[in-house]
Structure 1
Amino acid sequence: MSPQDPHRPNLAIDCRRAEFADPASESRFTRQFLPERNRQLKASLLFAAAFYVAFAATDFATLGDTAIAWMLMGLRSVVALVGLGCFAAIVRHPRSVRVSIRAACTLLVAALAVFMVVCWFQPQVLAWNAMSQALILMAVYVNFPNRFIYAVAIGVGSSIVFAAMLAIQGNLRADDLLTLVLLLVMGNALGYIAARRFHVAQREQFRASLQLQQLADRDPLTGCHNRRFLQKGLLNAELERTRRYGAPLSVVLCDLDHFKRINDTYGHAAGDQVLADFAGLLLSLTRDTVDSVIRYGGEEFLLVLPQTDLAGAQALAERIRAAFADAPGATIKATASFGIASVPAQAPVLPASSEALIGAADAQLYAAKRGGRNMVCATLAGP
C-alpha cells in the first residue's frame, strides 16, 4: 500500500457550495476554466446590454412618450454601460478570476435593481413583469458564469424584493400573491438544482482528469512522481527559473543500500514495503507544492529542491539519512546513500542541461557508495 502523498491535492467537493473544499484545488479549477468562462460571460454581457436597451420600447408602448418612460430609458442605458464596462474589464484583465466574478455580479445586481424600478412604474403589465423575472432568474443561475453561492444569493434576493414590491403595491389579491410567491420559490429551486448540478459536474470532470493525470505521472507503489513526470521538463523549467531569478537550486539522488540483498533475504513484498516506507519519509520531509520527489529507478529517488542552496540540501539529506537508518519499529533495517548537486544563487554559469545537473548528483552518489554507503556527498554543479 502506498503512503499518503502530501503533494496530492485534496479534490473533495463541498456539495453545499458546489466547489472544491480545498481552496487551492478550487483556485486551480477556476484558473483552468477561466478562458472558457470569460468567453461565455462576455457574450452574456453584450447580449444583456443590447436587449436591456431594446426593451425600452416596451416602456414607451406602456407609458407613452412620458418623462417616466424617458427616465426608464436612461436607467436601461446605465445598465448597458455597466455591461460594456464589465466587458472591458474582462478584456483588460483576462487572467483575473476576481474581475470575472465581480463583472458577473455587478451586471446582474445593476440589471435587477433597474428591473425593479421598471416594474414599480408599470404595475399594469404584471404578467409580463413576472415572466421577465422568471427569465432573469434563468440567466442568473445558468447564463452568467458565477460562483454558485453568489448566483443563489442574487436569485433569491431579487425574488424577495420582487414579491415584496408587489405586496406593497397591493394590486394582487392574497391568493394571487401567494401563487406568485410559490412560482418564484419554484423558479429559484429549479435554478438552484440546475446550477448546482452544473457546477458539481464541471468539478467532477476536472477531478477525473486530474486523477487520470496523476495515475500517468505517479508511481503506484510509492506515490512519488515517475520518470515520465521528469521528462515533461520539470527540471529544465526549474533551471530556467534559476537562470531568470538567480535563486539557488539543488537536486538529490538517493539510493537504498544493498537493496538486492533485502529482496533476496526477505522477499520482494518486504522490499516493496521498504521502498514505500522510504518514499513516505521523503514525501513527509520535503515541502508540499515546492519540492518534487521522483522515483528515478528501481530503488533510486530524485529530489528536486527549488530555492535550496548546498547547505540546505545537505541538511535535508542528512535528516532523511538519519531518520531512515534509525527508523523506530522498522522490522527491516536499511540505509540509503545520497548525492547532491547544487546551483548557487546568482550563479554566473549554470549547468548546460538538466541531464548535466543530475549527472553531477549521480557522481556524488557513487562517491558516497565508494565511501562506505549510508552517507551524503555533495558538490556545486558546474557548466
Structure 2
Amino acid sequence: MPYQDPSFIRPTIHPWRAEFADAALEQRFLHHVMPERNAQLKASLLFAAFCYVLFGVTDIATLGLGPTAWMLLGLRAGVALVALAGHAAVSRHPRSARVSELAACSALVAALAVFMAVAWFQPSAMPWNTMSHALLLMVIYVIFPNRFVYALAMGIGSSIFFAAMLFSHFPLKTDDLLTLVLLLVCGNAIGYIAARRYHVAQREQFHATVLLQQLAERDALTGCYNRRVLQRGLLDAELAQARRKGTALSVILCDIDHFKRINDTHGHASGDVVLDKFAGLLKAMTRASIDSVIRYGGEEFLVVLPQTDLAGAQALAERIRAAFAASATPAVDGRAMLATASFGIATVPERTPHPPARYETLVDAADAQLYAVKRGGRNGVRATSVAA
C-alpha cells in the first residue's frame, strides 16, 4: 500500500481564525512567510507614518491654525512615531511573529484612536470622516499584515465606537445616520471577506508547497526520505554540525538479505510488504525529529544518527536486526515470511580532529562494513570509526 503521510491530508483551517488548526503547522507557516510579511509590514508602517502627518493639512483647513489643530497635529505626529518605532522593532527582530503583530496592532490602534479625536473635533466633516474610516477599515483588513482575529477585532471595535459617536455627538438626520452606519457595515463586510480569503489562500498555497516538497523528498512506498535529501545536503549539514560542536555522528547502512529471493518466491507485492515493515521498524526505533531514515536504493536504507557514538549505533543496529529477524511478515498469499538484514556502521567520533569533509566518505565506510557482513554470512552488524 503506498505511503500516505498525515501532513499530505488537507489540513484544517479554523473557520473564524483563518489559521491552521494545528499550532505547529501554523508556526511553520509563519516562519515561512515572515520575510515577505515583514517587508510588507515595514513598507506599510512607513507609508502610514508619512500619510498620517500629511493629512494634518486637512485639520488646518477645517479648524484653522488654532490650539485644536496643533493638538491634532501633535497626535498625528505621535502616530507616526509609533509606526516608526514598530518599523525599528521589526527590523531588529525579523524572525519574531509576536513583534510583527505587536508593531502592526500598536500602529493601527494609535491611528484609530487619533482618528476618533480628529472626527470628534470636526463635526462638519463627519460624512468625509466616515468615508475615511471606511478606508481605514481596508487598511486594517488588507494593507497591514496581521493576524486575522486582531484585524477583525480592531475593525469591528472601531466601527462600533465610531457609530456611537455619530449617534451621540453629531446632529445628523436619521437617513444620513443610517447611510453612514451602512457604509461602516459594508466596509467591515468587504474587509472581512477580502482578509479571510487572503489568509486562507496564503495557507493553502503554503500547504501545496509543502506537499510538493514532501512528494519530491519522500519514498512513496515507505514514507522514508529518498536520496534527494542527501543531494540537498542533509548529511553534509550533520557533518558540519558535528565538526562545529565536536559531537559524534554515526550512519547505519542496512540491506535486507536475499531480497530477490523474497520477490521470486512470494511476488513483488509481498516484497513491498517486507520493505514497508522494515522501514517502519527503522522509523519506530529511531528518534523522531533527530534521526533520519533514508531509502538509499532498492532494499537498502541509510540511517543518520546525530550525536550517536559507535557503541550507541552498534546497540541500535543490533536491536533492529534482532527484532526484524524474530518477527514474521505475512505475504500477500497468506504465508509467513521470515527475513533478516545486514548492517554496516560508520562513526565520526566526538572531538575527532579531522572529520571527513563529505558525506560520501562516511557512507562508503558503512558500505564496506555492510559488505563485510554479507561476505561473512549476512544477518549481522559491523562497525568502524572514520576520520578524514
* Same fold, judged at TM 0.5 (above): yes
- Work out the CA distance in 2 between the residues paired with 1:317 and 1:285: 10
Match of 1:375 in 2: 380
Distance 1:248 1:10, change over 3 A: farther
Aligned partner (choices 351, 354, 360) of residue 355 of structure 1: 360
| 2:40 is the counterpart of 1:40 | yes
- Kindly provide the CA deviation profile for residues 169-225 of structure 1, in whole angstroms up to 9, marking residues without a partner as x: 253455654544443233212211111111111221222122222222222222211
Alignment partner, residue 14 of structure 1: 13
Q: Residues 362, 186 of structure 1: CA spacing in aligned structure 2 closer, same or farther, 3 A cutoff?
A: same
Contact kept in structure 2, 1:11 and 1:21, CA below 8 Å: no
The equivalences for 1:135-284 within 5 A come to: 135-169=135-169, 171-172=171-172, 176-284=176-284
Kindly tell me the number of residue pairs found equivalent between the two proteins. Answer: 382
Asked if 1 retains the 8 angstrom alpha-carbon contact of 2:79 and 2:107, the reply is yes
- 2:333 is aligned to none
Q: Do the aligned partners of residues 9 and 235 (structure 1) sit closer, same or farther apart at CA in structure 2, a change above 3 Å counting?
A: farther
Distance in 2 between the 1:111 and 1:346 partners? 57
Paired residue secondary structure (1:296): strand
C-alpha distance in 1 between matches for 2:107 and 2:9: 33
Q: Which residue of 1 aligns with 2:349?
A: 344
Q: Verify the 8 A CA contact 1:11 1:22 in the aligned structure 2.
A: no
- Pair 1:22–1:327, CA change in 2 (3 A): farther
Return the structure number with greater relative CO, CA threshold 8 A, min gap 6.
1
Structure 1 unpaired stretches of 5+:
none
* Greater CA drift, 315-324 or 189-198: 315-324
- Distance in 2 separating the partners of 1:215 and 1:183: 48
Could you say if the C-alpha distance between residues 229 and 245 of structure 1 is closer, same or farther in structure 2, counting changes exceeding 3 Å? same
The SS at the match of 2:297 is coil
Do the aligned partners of 1:339 and 1:377 also contact (CA within 8 Å) in 2? yes
Change (3 A) 1:285 1:187: farther
Q: Residue 23 of structure 1: CA displacement? A: 2.8
Deviation at 1:228, TM superposition (A): 1.7
Mapped to 1, the partners of 2:383 and 2:83 lie a distance apart of: 60
Change (3 A) 1:24 1:174: same
Supply the RMSD in Å over aligned alpha carbons: 2.1
Whole-Å separation in 2 of the counterparts to 1:204 and 1:33: 13
CA distance in 1 between partners of 2:19 and 2:61 (Å): 44
TM-score normalized by structure 1?
Answer: 0.93
- Distance in 2, Cα, partners of 1:291 & 1:10: 24
Q: CA deviation at 1:10?
A: 7.4
Residue type matched to 2:301 in 1? Answer: F
TM-score by length of 2: 0.91
- Indicate if the aligned counterparts of 1:112 and 1:158 stay in contact, CA closer than 8 A: yes
Q: Name the CA shift for 1:20/1:287 in 2 (closer, same or farther; >3 Å).
A: farther
| Percent identity (aligned) | 67
Q: What amino acid is the match of 1:218? A: R
Quick one: which of 366, 369, 375 aligns to 2:371? 366
